[in-house]
Amino acid sequence: MKRGPVGCLLVHGYTDSPFTMEMLGRRLADAGFTVRCDLLPGHGADPAELNRLPWRAWWDSVRHAHDALARECESVFAVGLSFGGTLALHLATHRPLAGLVTMAAMLGTIDRRPYHAGWLRHVLAYVPKSGGPDVAEPLADYVGYDTVPVGGVAQVMRMIEHVRADLAQVRCPILVVHGQHDHTVPLENAHTILDTVSSTDKTLVVLPRSCHVVTLDVEHERLENDVVNWVSRLADRAGQ
């Protein structure tokens, strides 16, 4: 969505789709920002594709999307959900971002199985998503895979190790958002990000009623307000 001279690159999570970012993206566009949210490789078609991709395929996609947006805009913010937050953190170490918003960014998981995905993928190709997305109340609509490809999870965990090692290289302003009742990614991940990045402008928002997919959860309107206000403040300050 082409709007103003400041761009916002939105990055969805593993097995999800841009659907999870649509409401937030529309709010940012309504506030005058140019918004882009690409479908990550291996998503939106056959879950088997995710078992065949290296993590660098997702990184390359995000990097190319940023570079395309940067050619259109004077400055770019990155906004990532879950594994999209992990990708956005990696982007912040390789590109000059105006700011970074992570939402339930994945630097580790509550479920221990992902840590063993490297060998589990040889005996188990998929794990069904039980109960749908991790939100406080069931969703009437959701666009994304209903199963988790285990081979892809092994690649997710490999990238997490890489991103953790480089966290101190993040220096741009950062807004870290997490749901208090996240059953997927522990809240301590948010504190790890804040404690490790080198940013001097950093803010934590914990949503007291929300679970993991905060962009679709019961406090999504508060989330949208917080993100739009934070990005607007930094964009206005840069324009002075």
Active site residues: 82, 182, 212
CA 30 to CA 23: how far, in whole Å? Answer: 11
CA 103 to CA 80: how far, in whole Å? Answer: 6
Query: What DSSP designation does 143 have?
Result: -
The residue type of 75 is S
Tokens of 194: 């804040």
Structural contact between residues 122 and 199, judged by C-beta atoms closer than 8 angstroms: no
Planar angle of CA 160, 198, 155, nearest 5 degrees: 10
CA 195 to CA 191: how far, in whole Å? Answer: 6
Residue 95: CB partners within 8 Å, gap ≥ 6? Answer: 63, 66, 67, 70, 76
Tokens of 189: 């991940």
Tokens of 176: 């870290």
Tokens of 230: 């934070």
**Residue showing tokens 């993040």:** 170
Element housing 10 (H / E) = strand 6-11
